[in-house]
Structure 1
Amino acid sequence: MYRLAIKKLKEWKNKEDRKPMILMGARQVGKTWIMKEFGKNEYAKVAYISFYSAI
C-alpha cells in the first residue's frame, strides 16, 4: 500500500530546516500505518508516541 503521503514524508525528511512531525486527521484513515511504514523504510530507529485519550 504505497500512498502519496509517503512521497510527502520523504520530502519532509530531506528538508534541511524541517520541524518535528505531528500527524493529525480523521479516525481510521491510515495515519498510524503510514507513519510506521515510513519509519520502518526510512530510519534505523523510530519512536512512536500516541496521545490518544479516552476521556
Structure 2
Amino acid sequence: MPGGERVRRSTGTQDKQKAQELRTKLEHEFWQQSRLSVKPKKLWDEAALQ
C-alpha cells in the first residue's frame, strides 16, 4: 500500500473471489492516489463533516 504501510480490513464476505476483487480494486485506488495524485472519492457523510 502507499508508503509501505499495511492496511487490514474485513471484506465482509466469505467468498474468496469477491474478497480478492475488492483487494485488487483497493490496491488500484491506492496506486492511483500515490502515483497519479488522484484524490479519493469521499462519501457524503465524510464531506459533510468537513
Question: TM-score, normalised on structure 1?
Answer: 0.33
Larger Rg: 2
Which has the higher relative contact order, 1 or 2, with Cα contacts under 8 A spaced 6 or more apart? 2
The structure with more helix, counted as a fraction of residues: 2
